[in-house]
Amino acid sequence: EDQVTQSPEALRLQEGESSSLNCSYTVSGLRGLFWYRQDPGKGPEFLFTLYSAGEEKEKERLKATLTKKESFLHITAPKPEDSATYLCALKTSYDKVIFGPGTSLSVIP
């Protein structure tokens, strides 16, 4: 069964304290893996798409990486405005979209 899990469920960081969020998946065929950020009361905001193992993408303090079984979202020197829920999703080879449960990140000043 196709499945996406994320860990940890919640993460509290001090401002400037770097860390990583994990997205693990089992899928019969992967067409792409996505990372989104969601603020309370808003729709998800697109961050990255990764297509194949070994691929990496960066945007400001965020860096996403992909292996054959998991993806990591690395947050370097986070700021309070990085506080949000980070969602991982994937599209399977038959175009089914599956979202993970998300990681709620709080960055404390």
Q: Does 72 bind other proteins (CB under 8 A)?
A: no
Binders of other proteins among residues 11 to 70 (CB under 8 A) are 31-32, 34, 36, 41-46, 49, 51
C-beta of residue 17 within 8 angstroms of C-beta of residue 50: no
Shortest distance (Å) from residue 46 CB to other proteins: 6
Shortest distance (Å) from residue 32 CB to other proteins: 5
Q: Does 89 bind other proteins (CB under 8 A)?
A: yes
Shortest distance (Å) from residue 21 CB to other proteins: 15
Residues 66 and 33: their CA atoms lie apart, in Å, by 8
Residues 34 and 13: their CA atoms lie apart, in Å, by 23
What are φ and ψ of residue 81, in 5° steps?
A: -70, -5
In sequence order, what DSSP letters do the residues of 61-73 get, joined into one string? TEEEEE-SSEEEE
- Of 10-18, 20-28, 67-75, 84-92, which segment contacts other proteins by CB under 8 A? 84-92
Q: What is the DSSP pairing of strand 10-14 with strand 103-108?
A: parallel
Can you give the binding site for other proteins, defined by CB under 8 A? 31-32, 34, 36, 41-46, 49, 51, 87, 89, 91, 95-102
